[in-house]
Amino acid sequence: MTTNPATAAALMLLLILQWPQSLAAHRSGVNGLSSTWEVLLNNSGVVAMHMALTHLNTVIFFDQTSSGRTGYILQRNSSCSRRGGDGGGSSEPKNDGYGAKSSSQVKSCWAHSMEYDVATNSLRPLTLKTDTWCSSSSFLRDGTLQQTGGYGSGIRKIRYFRPCGNGRCDWTESPAVLADGRWYSTSQILPDGGTEGGADRVFILGGLNVFTYEFVPKSHPNETAYELPFLRQTSQRRDKGNNLYPFIHLSSDGNLFIFANRDSILFDYRHNTVLRTFPRLPGSGARNYPSTGSTALLPLDHTNFFQRVEVMICGGAAAGAYRAALRGRYYQALSSCGRMVITDEKPEWIMEKMPGPRLMSDMLVLPTGNVLIINGATHGCAGWQKAINPALTPYLYHPNGKPRKRFSVLRASIIPRMYHSTALLLSDGRILVGGSNPYYRYNFSGYPYKTELRMEAFTPYYMRKFFDDKRPMNVAVVGGEEGIRYGEEFVVLFEMERRGRTELEFVASAAPFVTHSLSMHQRVLRLECRGVQRLGEVLMSAVVKAPPSPVVAPAGYYLLTVVNGGIPSKSEWVRFLV
């Protein structure tokens, strides 16, 4: 049997685009391959180990301060020291036994944090005073980014970045400090901070060899951290924990779903009580750092009063992967995902299989309700030079699709995004992708994977002009900037051509803080639409109802997107208030 040359060439192109995964059972549709990649910046100056989108459509990203020379030097009149040549010491710091390295606390003259303006595609350097290496953050209700923990000089620090729009804002540090040092911890904004007259309140959990949680701010000056035995029970010291950066999701009853290693609980943080222990996630291996899988809270929906809460966890490392990587052996990553409705009377994990193995990937819930899985590697674990074979091909997961047909494969990037890479959704519908550094220092000649300073945009197929005749355009939220109170009705104006049937949804998405494949406080809600009317040839008006309480949507800024039959608009910011 002979093969047509044109057919053979087309098949070869398809295989190249989908390398390195074997995708025989998971063919990509035309839509998947019509997604695009674009390099936005050839030099971002700083590795985007941590990244967050502000309500002013700027992106704050930062690295550790102990990495020495970066890609951007600060002005000479800035507050820094040039001792040691690079501000981080002239020699490689000593290892602390866990792959971490101590360093002098000389202020660095190299930028370790940047502000990226999406509209102008430009950068502005920011100044960090202490080390933010592997830290956590939460957005407060006024849009301020609260940043906690880190390493060395920064391990107990509390920092703030308040977006200003005039190019004059920078990092500040609080005189208050954390009760415990927190390195690889997770933050979660709490709903009780959204009460009228109340202060924002953030729950901070875990850290390397730290089995406690605490609140910022403290309820009283002498408040200490609280023990959580679950963290000690899930720790595997020989594997550097396998429970660091624990996953946290706020449930519909106001309690916290906490997942570490393979186990999970429902936790009442008000009374320091474990309310429920969930079934163990099936399979071997682990899902948290350094085995680094990823998680997402599937969209909450007004049709069940936002009460049904479903968690999804994908990827991770094989059992023993960390110890094997120390010896230069790289085990294949996990290819399984688990979904569980944590509000069910008898919850159980429903397992799915991805098109290929991966770890260190980011899971982003898109306005369409689908889940994008992007970045990562296929073998090894997280850590310096502990993974090989980049996962260049994003996956798109359709939660409501037919079983065994829920994954589609999208167009591959050519840039490896492995350890310390990040991705987040922008208001214009693109995905900003940055970071990746398998080395302690910046190494631009490393083989096979170098320090990566290029920033990319991944544009999903549905943002192509081809779909503009179905796309809601020029979205405006009436009163959105001033703030909309819980349970209030508000008006959304937009334009849409008179073509075909309309299937409108109104989606609110909390902007997460992203690091180490974890999108902290990522939350997507399908809001109730009370009515739509056409005001002109293209102008339309919808009455939408805000979430009922801060338990459903903690107070703060959200991206409001109008989705028509799976085609989303560009998003506008809305602020929910008590």
pLDDT digits (tens, 9 = 90+) for 462-481: 999 999 999 999 999 998 77
Across 9-144, where does the E strand assignment appear?
A: 36-41, 50-53, 58-62, 113-117, 122-126, 136-139
Rounded mean pLDDT, 133-157: 98
Average pLDDT over residues 181-200: 85
Tell me, what DSSP letter sits at residue 77?
T
- Give the pair of three-digit tokens for residue 171: 């990092």
Split at pLDDT 50, 70, 90, the class of 78 is low
22 or 428, which is more confident? 428
Is residue 26's pLDDT more than 60? Answer: no
DSSP tag of 546: P
pLDDT, position 103: 44
Alpha helices in 255-365 (DSSP H): 321-326
Mean pLDDT of the chain: 90
Check if the beta carbon of residue 183 is closer than 8 Å to that of residue 207: yes
For residue 10, the model assigns a pLDDT of 37
The whole-number pLDDT of residue 29 equals 47
Question: Is residue 211 predicted with pLDDT exceeding 60?
Answer: yes
Q: How confident is the model at residue 66 (pLDDT cuts 50, 70, 90)?
A: confident
**Percent of the chain having pLDDT more than 90?**
82
pLDDT confidence of residue 74: 78
Q: How confident is the model at residue 297 (pLDDT cuts 50, 70, 90)?
A: very high
- Model pTM? 0.91
Pairing of strands 523-534, 300-301: parallel
Structure tokens belonging to residue 561: 């997107």
What pLDDT score does 28 carry? Answer: 45
Burial class (CB in 10 A: 0-12, 13-18, 19+), 507: buried
Q: In terms of DSSP bridges, do strands 336-341 and 310-314 run parallel, antiparallel, or are they unpaired?
A: antiparallel
Q: What are the tokens at 491? A: 């008006």
**How wide is the angle at C-alpha 217 spanned by C-alphas 215 and 221, nearest 5°?**
100
pLDDT of residue 418: 98
Q: Are 184 and 152 in contact (CB under 8 A)?
A: no
- Average pLDDT (397-401) is 97
Reply yes or no on whether the pLDDT at 96 is more than 60. no
Model confidence at 356, pLDDT cuts 50, 70, 90, reads very high
Name the nearest CA neighbour of 355 among 278, 317, 409, 308: 409
Q: In this structure, are residues 84 and 104 in contact, taking their beta carbons and an 8 Å threshold?
A: yes
Q: Are 292 and 317 in contact (CB under 8 A)?
A: yes
* Domains within the chain, CATH numbers bracketed: 14-58+128-463 (2.130.10.80), 467-577 (2.60.40.10)
Tokens 């501000």 appear where? 87
Q: Residue 529 — very low, low, confident or very high, per pLDDT cuts 50/70/90?
A: very high
Percent of the chain exceeding pLDDT 70 equals 87
- pLDDT score at 108: 66
In order, the DSSP letters of 413-477 are PSS---TTEEEEE-TTS-EEEEE---SSS--TT-SSS-----EEEEE-GGGSGGGTTTS-EEEEE
Q: What does 197-252 look like in DSSP terms, one character per residue? A: TPPP-EEEE--TT--EEEEES-SSTT---EE-HHHHHT-BGGGTBS-BS-EEEE-T
Does the pLDDT of residue 8 top 60, yes or no? no
Burial 76-108 (b: 16+ CB within 10 A, else e): eeeebeeebebbbbeeebeeeeebbbebebbbb
Using 50, 70 and 90 to split pLDDT, how confident is the model at 575? very high
- Sequence letter at residue 32: G
Q: What is the pLDDT of residue 424?
A: 98
| pLDDT tens-digit readout, 364-390 | 999 999 999 999 999 999 999 999 999
For residue 32, the 8-state DSSP code is H
Dihedral angle of Cα 274, 277, 281, 286, to the nearest 10 degrees: 30
Length of the chain: 578
Pairing state of beta strands 556-564 and 202-205?
Answer: unpaired
pLDDT of the residue at 237: 93
- The pLDDT tens digits of the residues spanning 97-110 come to 334 444 444 456 88
Q: Read off the pLDDT of each residue in 211-218 and give the average, rounded to a whole number.
A: 98
Q: Model confidence at 13, in pLDDT bands (50, 70, 90)?
A: very low
Instruction: Give the pLDDT score at 107.
Output: 59
pLDDT of residue 79: 60
Closest CA to 558 of 503, 490, 462, 496: 490
Q: Residue range 483-510: average pLDDT?
A: 93
User: With bands split at pLDDT 50, 70 and 90, how would you rate the model's confidence at 80?
Assistant: low
Instruction: Indicate whether 5 pLDDT > 50.
Output: no
User: Six-digit token pair at 80?
Assistant: 């820094």
Beta-bridge partners for 395: 373, 409
In this predicted structure, the answer to whether residue 149 has a pLDDT above a threshold of 80 is: yes
Beta pairing partners, 267: 256, 274
Give the model's confidence band at 14: pLDDT under 50 very low, under 70 low, under 90 confident, else very high: very low
In this prediction, residues 55-72 reach a mean pLDDT of 92
- Three-state DSSP state, 506: strand
pLDDT for 73 equals 82
